[in-house]
Amino acid sequence: MILSLVEHAGGSPEEPSLEALTLARELATATDAALEAVAFGAESAALGEKLGDYGVETLHHVGDERLDTYAPEAWAESIAQLLDATDPDAVVAPGTDRGQEVLAHVGARRDLPMAANCLDVEAGDVYELSRQRWGGSLVEHTRLDSDTKLVTAAEHEFSPETATGTVESTVQPFEPSLDESAFRVSVDRVEESDETGVSLGEARVVVGGGRGVGGPEDYDKLETLADSLGGTVGASRAAVNEGWRPHNDQIGQTGTKISPDLYVACGISGAVQHMVGCKGADNILAINTDPEAAIMQKADYAVVGDLHEVVPELNDALGDGG
């Protein structure tokens, strides 16, 4: 059996978890094994019907009310106890901060190795896999040999796909035995942002600004371009470090990983850490005065020019012609 961790929002599976389910289903098909899932919180029971479309035969619903909010050690201990009860061949988690953290805790509890940020996995007694290392700057080919394999799926590397044939997913409550010490770290509250519009991670068009923008006031023209294209604005780490944009706008290894249809990078050099964050973009348009900038070499389209001249021209053109 292959077990997959599903993160959700109000009973709706989140995109990275559906990506992980695609990898998990590939492993289940390759080994002729059942595909099962585990989810936390009272609302997770509602996932059963939706996950059947992705080939999940059984959903293990951990409904302890203390687990309605994220508690990494408690989630990990719950999964570790579920491993003892079900003995899966592998556990697949999304390559999100939570997915990585929880599976690392599971590995520590059960003395199991974990392979993070996997790009490709070939199932067998020993898994042959490729995964991102060093912030995505290199790809490692390695082998994973253990009774239960722990892997996370790199974000934006697996397209969420429904199964060929929908199955009727059975929801099975699972009640782990958890000490209060497992809840020493947990989410206390969630503060909603005052910002409106599409979020950076979900935007189909992103306009990013780096050090070359020059200052916080010069992001106005990027905001105008993003609005015209129906997108949102992001920033490089350099711009965030300067205090020009909030951390929520940061694109990169330590920020948000984006996968828009179009990413317009303005005044961004293209450091490895930034490219990790935008490598999921279908198309990259770079605007930079330096034709040798790293991002110009990786872009699908490039404009060698001053963004302070190019972006206003784009805004005028879009304003005139829509």
pLDDT score, position 194 = 58
What is the predicted pLDDT for the residue at 134?
Answer: 72
pLDDT of residue 321: 40
Query: Does 20 map to a domain?
Result: yes
Q: Is residue 199 part of a domain?
A: no
Decide if 264 contacts 270 (C-beta within 8 A).
no
Answer yes or no: is pLDDT of 166 > 80: no
pLDDT higher than 60, residue 58: yes
Are both 227 and 284 inside the same structural domain?
yes
- Find the CATH number of the domain harbouring 53: 3.40.50.620
User: Phi/psi zone of residue 134: left (φ > 0), alpha (ψ -120 to 50 degrees), beta?
Assistant: left
Among 130-139, 176-185, 259-268, name the one with the lowest average pLDDT: 130-139
Same domain membership, residue 168 and residue 35: yes
CA torsion sign for 301, 306, 307, 310 is: negative
User: The domain containing residue 258 runs over which residues?
Assistant: 205-320
pLDDT number for residue 322: 42
Point out the domain boundary residue: 150, 182, 214: 182
Lowest-pLDDT range, 42-51, 68-77, 146-155, 213-222? 42-51
One domain for residues 158 and 209: no
Q: Is residue 277 part of a domain?
A: yes
Do residues 160 and 126 share a domain? yes
Reply yes or no on whether the pLDDT at 65 is more than 90.
Answer: no
- pLDDT of 299 > 80? The answer is yes
- Check: CB of residue 232 under 8 Å from CB of residue 199: yes
CA–CA separation, 29 vs 34, rounded Å?
8
On whether both 119 and 23 belong to a single domain, the answer is: yes
38 has a pLDDT exceeding 50: yes
Residue 14 CA, distance from chain mean position: 9
- Percentage of the chain surpassing pLDDT 70? 96
Same-domain pairing of 231 and 165? no
- The pTM (predicted TM-score) of the whole model is 0.75
Instruction: Report, as an integer, the average pLDDT of 193-219.
Output: 86
Cα–Cα nearest to 307, from 237, 206, 208, 205: 208
Q: How many CB atoms lie within 10 A of CB 22?
A: 21
**Residue 302 C-alpha from the chain's centroid:** 27
Backbone angles phi, psi at 231, to 5 degrees: -120, -155
- The CATH number assigned to the domain holding 257 equals 3.40.50.1220
3-class state of residue 9 by DSSP: strand
Strands (E), the chain: 2-5, 8-9, 12-13, 35-40, 58-62, 90-94, 114-122, 127-133, 138-144, 149-153, 170-173, 205-209, 232-235, 262-266, 283-288, 301-304
In a domain, 188, yes or no: no
34 and 136, same domain (yes or no): yes
pLDDT(135) > 90: no
Distance, in Å, from the CA atom of 228 to the CA atom of 209, rounded to the nearest integer, reads 16
CB atoms within 10 A of CB 217: 9
The Cα 35–Cα 52 span in angstroms is 10
Report pLDDT for 137.
Answer: 66
Helix (H) / strand (E) element for 189: namely none
Residue 129 has pLDDT above 90, yes or no: yes
- Together in a domain, 178 and 212: no
Together in a domain, 249 and 165: no
The rounded percent of the chain whose pLDDT value lies above 90 is 73
Name the pairing type of β-strands 138-144 and 127-133.
Answer: antiparallel
For residues 132 and 245, membership in a common domain is answered with: no
Q: What is the number of domains present in the chain?
A: 2
| Residue 173 shares a structural domain with residue 39 | yes
Q: Distance between CA atoms of 140 and 192, rounded to whole angstroms?
A: 38
User: In which band, very low, low, confident or very high, does the pLDDT at 315 lie, cut at 50, 70 and 90?
Assistant: very high
- 177 and 211 inside one domain: no
Domain boundary among 147, 182, 217: 182
Examine the fold and report which residue of 182, 217, 252 is the final residue of a domain before the chain moves on.
182
- 194 is a domain residue: no
Is pLDDT at 196 greater than 80 in this prediction? no
pLDDT at position 320 is 47
Four-point Cα dihedral 169, 43, 78, 27, nearest 10: 40
Q: Residue 66 in contact with residue 37, Cβ under 8 Å?
A: no
Whole-number Å distance between alpha carbons of 78 and 178: 8
Alpha-carbon torsion angle 214, 220, 221, 225, nearest 10? 130
In a domain, 123, yes or no: yes
Predicted local distance difference test score (pLDDT) of residue 192: 65
